[in-house]
Amino acid sequence: MTYGLHYGGGVFEGLRAYDTPWGRSVFRLEDHMRRFIESARFLRLKLDYDLGELCEGVRSVVRTNGPNADYIRPIAFYGATPNLSMNPQGIPTHVAIVTVHMGSYIGDRQMREGMDAIVSSWEKPSNRATSSMAKVCGNYVNSALAKFDAVQAGADEAIMLNGNGTVAEGTGENLFIVRDGKLITPDLASGVLEGVTRDTVIKLARAAGYDVEERPITRGELLVANEVFMTGTAAEIVPVRTIDGVPINGGRPGPVTLQVQRLYNSAVRGEDARFVDWLDLVERKDIELLKV
C-alpha cells in the first residue's frame, strides 16, 4: 500500500565515497543533498530533516558500512496510503539511506576503451510533462525502458532525444561532445538533469582552459563529433566509442576525454588541492587542514 511503490512518488540521490589521503570522503555531499531537498520540494514531500542532518545521515551510513560501500542512495518517498488515491496529500514521507558496492557502473573495459551506445527510440519526457531537474523515482521508468532496449541490442547505453529531436542525455548520465577542442553539453532547456558530475566536469574543464558551451545538440552532431563521453556520479566519466555502430574518434577514447577522466579522478580523491572544498570527510576532520 506504499504510494511511492504504486505511483513512483519518491525522489532519490546517488553519491560516491572515495578514499583520500585524509580518509574516506563523500564527494560533493552538500550539493547532492541540497538537490535531494529541492527534488522533494518539487514532489511536495515533507522532509523532517534539514541539510545538516541529511548530510550527517549519509556520513553515518558510510562509516557503518565500511570501505566497500562506495555508492550511497538516499531516498524519500510517500508511505502507506489507505485508499490508493492519486492524491498524496496527508500521506507520510519516509526517508532511507543505503549503501552498496558499486564498483564500475558501466564496466571496467568501457571505462578504459569506451562504451557502445545507441540512440533510443524512447523520447525523454519534456519539461511540460515533469521536471527533468528533479530526481523523481517515477521519471526513471523511461530510462529503464531505453536501457533495456540498448542492452538487448548489444550496446552498453542509450542516448535519448527530447521532444524537439535534439539530444537530451543517457539513461542515467549527462552527455558531452568535443568539437574542435570545445566541450559542448545539452543545456537545461533540452530536458536534462542538472547533474552534479556534469557541473564538476564543466568547472574542471574551464579550469584546464577549455571552452565549455551549454546548448542544444543535434543527433547529427553526435556522429561528426571528435569525441563523445558521458558523466554521472555512478558512471563517473565514460568515453563513447561507437554510436549506432559508427566509430567516434576511430573507436577509441580521445585526448580530451582522457584528460577529463584524469582531472575528475584527481578531484574526487583529493589529489587536486584546487577542489578540496568538494570533499566531505566521513570522520569530519577539519577540512581547512587539507588546504595547507
Residues marked active site are found at 135
The alpha carbon dihedral of 251, 257, 259, 264 has a sign of: negative
Burial class (CB in 10 A: 0-12, 13-18, 19+), 94: middle
What pairing do the DSSP bridges indicate for beta strands 157-161 and 167-170? antiparallel
- 101 CB-near residues (< 8 Å, 6+ apart): 68, 69, 70, 71
Q: Which among 263, 132, 234, 244 is positioned nearest to 173, based on CA atoms?
A: 234
d(CA 35, CA 260): 24
What pairing do the DSSP bridges indicate for beta strands 279-281 and 10-12? unpaired
Burial class (CB in 10 A: 0-12, 13-18, 19+), 116: buried
